[in-house]
Structure formats: structure tokens, C-alpha cells
């Protein structure tokens, strides 16, 4: 039986192909390259290294190209993007064979959050210019993304109080044991008392932070994250990403990362949509989880039509 045969790896080539010949003319990386090269890093306020000391920095446009490629191909990990620079021929072409390490990629994303958001809004304005945004019907929804903060390291007033009560009980037990202990055990018990007092100071400091910030909860590992309901009665320490999609071609026109539940989101996202679309003559679809009195009032004040829906995604895709 015959099979299609590959080429001999050791065969010499008289005229080797360049990277540009290998990447097809309609490959998406050419669009990414063209788009990023068309923008000004200073206009979007990307962080640019101006010092001539030390090793030269990567140009923000090169790192932005890598970031956009990762976004379009669902690659969020900076370590995975680093690997792609070494093994993915599309990325090699896009990056001109530059290979920044994962720390550089992660720092770029961290230091340029506002600039990247401006680039996203720039893509929306381009889409509107080409009549890809209808601006007549939009839908909003949220996605919960788990934070790097565990439930163990998330605290509210009641949880802190429970820890303090537990510590006070342990301190009472240790103090009573200390009075009856011999010299050898006194050192061990004294060390435990010091440990519990240290923990008590930590929880008291958390209480002070809650009072000073006016917050209802605090996360110690990922300070901006909050514990919220993700589905049914299941809770996670997470972020709540609000997204707005235009119905004409199901293109996202806005997003916002928040640490609040949906009950406080609709009014803000409608106001942002009004600014982006430069009109309030559109209808917004939001499910009942967004319909609170304060948010409905904001929609009415902006004179924006809204409807509740349990199947807005099917409505949008059908259109």
C-alpha cells in the first residue's frame, strides 16, 4: 500500500524558503502586524523605556503583536506565549524571531492595561467605520474568572470575628496551662501564646483595613478580587468581567473587569455603550440578574430601551 511521502530532512535546498514565503498571504498574523504598525504607541500611552543604560528593551509594538496573537488564539499564559516564540512559525514571523521571556510578557501586560484597553476601543472604532457595528441592538452579560486568591485568604467581618474568638479561647487555655506547667513546658506554651498573639494582631489589622476602606471583604493574595456567587449557591473568589456585544456581527464593543455582582453593573455598561456608540437609540438585552431598581433607574434616565431575556445569545446569533 502506498502512502504520501514526506521530504528527506537531510536533503540540501538550493534556494531555501524564507519565513515570509512560508506564511500565506491571507494568514491572520499579517493583519495583526499591519494593525499594530498602524498605531502610535505614544498616542495610546504605552510604557516606553527611554533610558540607554543596561540591555535594550523590546519595542512595545512587538510585545503588543504577541499579546494580540495570544488573544486571538486563546493563549493567556505568558509562559505559553514564550514557548510559542520558539516553536510556532507564525509567531516567529510576527515577532521577527524575537523571543521575550515570560516575565517580560507578563510585565508588559501588567504595565499597559489602560493602553491595551484603548487599543481594544480603537478596534471598535475601526469596525464602526467599516459598518460592522449596527448600534441598534446590544446584549450584555458577565463572566466570572477565578482569582489567584483562595477562599482561605478572603475575609469578611464575620470570618475575622470567628478567628478572633477562636484565638481568645486558645489564649485562655494556654494561660491556664502556663500557671500549672513546669519549667520545660513553660517555654513551649509561651511560644504558642506568642504565635496566637501574632495571629491576633494580623486579624486586627484586617479589621482596621475594612473599616478604613469601607469594604465588606478583603483578599490578602489578590487584593482586588472578591468572593461572589458564580452559579447557583456556589461561591468563588473571583473577578466579574462585564461584556457588551453588538448584534449585527456579534462583535464585542466593550468590556470591564469588576469585583462586584451583576446587580450593580447594567447602568455603568449602558453609559459606556452610549459613549462608544455615540447614541442612546439602541435596545439593550440583559437578563433578570441585572434588573435592580437603581440600574433600571439609570437606564430610564439615559432614555435607553432595555429588555430582559433568558436567551439573548441565541437572539444575537440568529440575527
State pTM to two decimals. 0.77
**Closest by alpha carbon to 292, among 318, 265, 268, 310?**
265
Q: What is the pLDDT of residue 232?
A: 78
Grid coordinates representing 78 are: 505568558
Q: What is the pLDDT of residue 227?
A: 92
The mean per-residue pLDDT over the stretch 211-229 comes to 91
The mean per-residue pLDDT over the stretch 291-312 comes to 83
Half-sphere exposure of 41 toward its Cβ, with a 13 Å CA cutoff? 16
How far CA 122 is from CA of 136, 274, 277, in Å, comes to 20, 16, 13
Grid coordinates representing 173 are: 487555655
Cβ-based burial of 270 (10 A; exposed 0-12, middle 13-18, buried ≥19): buried
Grid coordinates representing 192 are: 504558642
pLDDT digits over 142-174, tens only? 999 999 899 999 999 999 999 999 999 999 999
Mean pLDDT of the chain: 90
Grid coordinates representing 35 are: 494593525
Q: What is the pLDDT of residue 17?
A: 79
3-state helix, strand, coil in the chain (%, to 5): 50, 15, 35
| pLDDT band for position 315 (cuts 50, 70, 90) | very low
pLDDT > 90? residue 268: yes
CA distance 195 to 253: 52
The mean per-residue pLDDT over the stretch 256-281 comes to 92
Q: What is the pLDDT of residue 234?
A: 86
**Domain coordinates in residue numbering, the chain:** 19-120, 132-147+225-318, 151-219
Q: Which residues contact 236 (CB under 8 A, 6 or more apart)?
A: 144, 146, 151, 227, 228, 230
The mean per-residue pLDDT over the stretch 263-267 comes to 91
The mean per-residue pLDDT over the stretch 33-58 comes to 87
pLDDT > 50? residue 318: no
**What does residue 14 show for φ and ψ, rounded to 5 degrees?**
-70, -45
Q: How many CB atoms lie within 10 A of CB 49?
A: 13
Q: What is the pLDDT of residue 104?
A: 95
Q: What is the pLDDT of residue 38?
A: 94
pLDDT > 90? residue 311: no
* Plot region of 51 (φ>0 → left; ψ -120 to 50 → alpha; else → beta): beta
Q: What is the pLDDT of residue 178?
A: 87
Which range scores top for mean pLDDT: 49-58, 114-123, 229-238? 114-123
- C-alpha 227: how far from chain center: 16
pLDDT > 80? residue 308: no
- Which CATH code is given to the segment(s) 132-147+225-318? 3.30.420.10
Cβ-based burial of 280 (10 A; exposed 0-12, middle 13-18, buried ≥19): middle
CA distance 58 to 48: 9
Q: What is the pLDDT of residue 163?
A: 95
Amino acid at each position: 500500500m502506498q502512502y504520501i511521502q514526506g521530504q528527506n530532512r537531510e536533503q540540501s535546498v538550493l534556494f531555501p524558503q524564507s519565513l515570509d514565503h512560508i506564511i500565506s498571504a491571507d494568514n491572520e498574523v499579517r493583519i495583526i502586524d499591519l494593525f499594530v504598525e498602524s498605531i502610535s504607541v505614544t498616542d495610546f500611552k504605552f510604557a516606553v523605556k527611554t533610558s540607554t543604560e543596561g540591555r535594550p528593551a523590546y519595542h512595545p509594538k512587538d510585545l503588543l503583536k504577541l499579546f494580540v496573537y495570544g488573544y486571538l488564539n486563546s493563549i493567556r499564559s505568558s509562559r505559553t506565549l514564550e514557548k510559542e516564540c520558539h516553536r510556532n512559525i507564525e509567531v516567529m514571523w510576527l515577532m521577527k524571531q524575537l523571543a521575550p521571556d515570560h516575565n517580560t510578557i507578563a510585565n508588559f501586560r501588567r504595565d499597559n492595561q489602560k493602553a491595551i484597553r484603548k487599543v481594544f476601543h480603537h478596534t471598535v472604532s475601526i469596525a464602526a467605520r467599516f459598518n460592522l457595528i449596527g448600534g441598534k441592538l446590544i446584549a450584555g452579560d458577565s463572566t466570572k474568572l477565578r482569582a489567584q486568591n483562595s477562599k482561605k485568604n478572603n475575609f469578611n467581618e464575620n470570618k475575622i470575628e470567628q478567628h478572633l474568638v477562636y484565638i481568645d479561647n486558645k489564649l485562655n487555655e494556654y494561660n491556664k496551662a502556663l500557671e500549672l506547667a513546669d519549667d520545660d513546658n513553660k517555654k513551649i506554651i509561651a511560644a504558642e501564646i506568642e504565635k496566637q498573639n501574632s495571629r491576633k494582631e494580623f486579624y486586627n489589622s484586617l479589621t482596621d483595613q475594612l473599616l478604613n476602606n469601607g469594604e465588606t471583604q478583603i483578599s490578602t493574595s489578590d487584593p482586588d478580587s472578591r468572593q461572589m456567587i458564580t452559579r447557583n449557591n456556589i461561591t468563588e473568589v473571583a473577578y466579574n468581567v462585564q461584556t457588551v456585544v453588538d448584534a449585527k456581527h456579534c462583535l464585542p464593543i466593550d468590556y470591564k473587569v469588576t469585583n462586584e455582582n451583576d446587580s450593580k453593573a447594567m447602568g455603568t455598561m449602558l453609559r459606556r455603550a452610549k459613549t462608544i456608540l455615540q447614541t442612546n437609540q439602541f435596545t439593550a438585552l440583559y437578563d433578570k440578574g441585572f434588573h435592580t431598581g437603581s440600574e433600571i433607574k439609570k437606564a430610564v434616565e439615559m432614555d435607553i430601551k432595555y429588555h430582559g431575556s433568558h436567551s439573548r445569545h441565541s437572539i444575537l446569533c440568529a440575527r
